[in-house]
Amino acid sequence: MPTDDPRGWLCEAQAGDLARLTQSLTPAERDALPYAFCAFQAHAGQIPPPGDWRVWLVMAGRGFGKTRAGAEWVRSVAEGDPDARIALVAASLGEARMVMVEGESGILACCPPDLRPAYEPSLRRLTFPNGAQAMLYSAGEQESLRGPQHSHAWCDEIAKWTNAHGRAGQAWDNLQLGLRLGQDQRVMATTTPRAVPLLRRLLSGEEAEDVAVTRGSTFDNGHLPRAFTRRMRCEYGSSLLGRQELEGHLLEEIEGALWSRALLEQCREAELSAPAPSTFRRIVIGVDPPASAQGDACGIVVCALGEDGVARVLADRSIARPSPEAWARRVADSASEFSVDRVIAEANQGGEMVRSVLKAADIALPVKLVHASRGKSARAEPVAALYETGRVRHIGQFPLLEDELCGMLAAGGYEGPGRSPDRADALVWALTELMLGVRRVPRVVGF
């Protein structure tokens, strides 16, 4: 049996070969075999790169095995250095605990029982049998990283860290300033790519020369169920969402677009930090109906105006190639779910037919029909300006909607996915109603 590449041998081994290998091992070796990750289970993208890198950035699609790679790297650092002090940083403490530590591919699951660290949730601390320690941090609490010292760090899903008020960059900087223990400080960062400032900084900023980048896709992981990978290829394979979330591509900005991905990231707000729905002044649904059942999607976007004067995008309930009954029912269900007070629907493609379809779906709410007298880009420009001034927030992520926004050009035209920006149009109608409607100001007209 060749010994220089055991992973290659295992890929070609027959059942009998594996049985003989197992029988030749001692009981202790058999117990340790499931934990021999780098030797037998890892694919090439999960192996630390050679060289004198300071940051190892694993930027790959979902299911690539990023979490397992990060957990195994932390394990190897801890087992090799009893003085190691490792920072485990996620978008929130809950994610650090549930994914990095307790998850199916987390640190506790990757360590054999005799080498498993003691986990103290109340102290946010892991202590390995040899004395090495790992501490949990939230990137959303960037000041918690100011002061503590570390020798290594694993930062998970850095493109998901909140960018409000530059928190992601501040968390990263505070972590770097505290990496001053030991002789060889290193950071592993794992993420699905998104065009956020921190990720662009690591790829093309002054730090880039010290960054080793591993790229990969969902389909590099041979352990995933074939039914899952087949379904992902069929549903998302050629879409922008698939390129980002499956293939691990960092989607570039379109020159001249009204919205950029970086701008949208700055406008993102975590659901937990958003105002309670009861505090919203108004909630509306923007609807961009399809011209026919065989046409494009029906854009259905829910937006709200808060007491702070900021509009928030709550949901994208758009539906592809629906019948009139299907999209009207989707609008009705969304109206009930979010307790909206008005439906704003474009009437260019059907006039009063739109009102009739919504009425047939038992929409008891006021329906305001709007007519497009200007081009899509002209209507969208003032809405894009609201984003620029920080007056719109996205509660969570809306990848299909955001792809369309980033494809709308200031000079006119559309270069996004699909033939028409139906979701983006619905958002524009909703936000125009909430933020740009005509306000009547009392004035004296005579005595």
Q: In whole angstroms, how large is the CA radius of gyration of the chain?
A: 26
Do 223 and 286 lie in one domain? The reply is no
Q: Determine what percent of the chain is predicted with pLDDT higher than 70.
A: 84
- Residue 281 makes CB contacts below 8 A (sequence gap 6+) with 304, 305, 306, 307
Do 305 and 223 lie in one domain? The reply is no
CB 392 within 8 A of CB 254: no
Comparison of pLDDT for 387 and 231, the residue scoring more: 387
Do 298 and 418 lie in one domain? The reply is yes
pLDDT at 208: 86
Comparison of pLDDT for 199 and 42, the residue scoring more: 199
pLDDT at 179: 96
- Of 215, 245, 275, which residue sits at a domain end? 245
Q: CA-to-CA distance for 399 and 431, rounded, in angstroms?
A: 18
- Render pLDDT for 413-444 as a digit per residue (tens, 0 to 9): 887 777 889 999 999 999 999 999 755 444 55
- Of 197, 217, 245, which residue sits at a domain end? 245
Domain coverage including residue 431: 261-435
Nearest Cα neighbor of 63 from 236, 223, 261, 282 is 223
In-domain check, residue 445:
no
- Reading the block at residue 255, the tokens are 């020159």
Do 324 and 416 lie in one domain? The reply is yes
- Reading the block at residue 220, the tokens are 């590099």
- Render pLDDT for 279-290 as a digit per residue (tens, 0 to 9): 899 999 999 988
Q: CA-to-CA distance for 283 and 339, rounded, in angstroms?
A: 7
pLDDT at 283: 96
Q: What number is the average pLDDT over the span 208-215?
A: 92
pLDDT at 2: 43
Do 236 and 307 lie in one domain? The reply is no
- Render pLDDT for 119-162 as a digit per residue (tens, 0 to 9): 999 999 999 999 999 999 999 999 999 999 999 999 999 988 98
Do 241 and 266 lie in one domain? The reply is no
In-domain check, residue 60:
yes
Residue 1 confidence (pLDDT) above 50: no
What average pLDDT does the structure give for the chain?
A: 85
Do 230 and 375 lie in one domain? The reply is no
Q: CA-to-CA distance for 123 and 255, rounded, in angstroms?
A: 48
Q: What is the CATH number of the domain that holds 271?
A: 3.30.420.240
- Of 245, 274, 297, which residue sits at a domain end? 245
Do 229 and 135 lie in one domain? The reply is yes
pLDDT at 3: 45
> Model's pTM, two decimal places?
0.64
- Residue 13 makes CB contacts below 8 A (sequence gap 6+) with 21
Do 283 and 385 lie in one domain? The reply is yes
Task: Indicate the number of domains in the chain.
Answer: 2
Q: What number is the average pLDDT over the span 345-362?
A: 71
Residue 53 confidence (pLDDT) above 80: yes
